[in-house]
Structure 1
């Protein structure tokens, strides 16, 4: 499970609005001050992601919670978005090269156009699959637990 900490920003019955801060690797690097990428990362404000979930856990505004998405679901979605257009393009390019160019003697420009058209079709298929309600439910973050904000001090040295 891929987990992220989020803060409760609004509550409406069992609907809870959560906000998490998107992290950049530059903010955790020790060379941040000496690196050009680190300087650029400092110049742009950090982005925040807001999502709504339904929960039965009693929460208050300002509480920190841990939300998560299943690894398998996220990897499947990423595979579809990146690989479906690529696979469609490679298959179409191979077919176009072997049939249109080699057999019919057409120009390679047609093979390139055919491959690009197949990549667009692959992208549209991936987009349709990602926008389905079942996939949206799978990728909806789930509330895992409420973070304990209290720090107990038992001994001061």
Structure 2
């Protein structure tokens, strides 16, 4: 019960912070998001590019865990996993709060679950993560990123959501 209350409190704090305390929105945010999705990336800080793409990796990592775990839950895990691709921690924290310990998987693995459970999927996600972190750290401009973090809501919240959906942090609460 303490875990559930703590996670919902954290979720409400994120929501309140995002709406009321984060830096203001920037007029070119939609253009930036479009360029991050489609390209071209010229003129965008590599740290922002890496972070944006890492925000796509975490939901894949969570999906691999949540789809199997979700089989034994009252609420379907796939729903929260899908929401994680768009909303990150804003969709995943409620699942972590509502889930119950599910130590054993019941039933056969279908082909979809086998793909998520396949060791190669984990290796590909690890390589993509290491590559993006390496690119951002070696090519990025930290002073520019810090300035954007302080002045742009999208960069600010994306950074916070990234840290809050880091599997090493969030799975600690998932217990």
TM range, smaller chain: under 0.3
TM-score, normalization: structure 1? Answer: 0.26
- Larger helix proportion, structure 1 or 2? 2
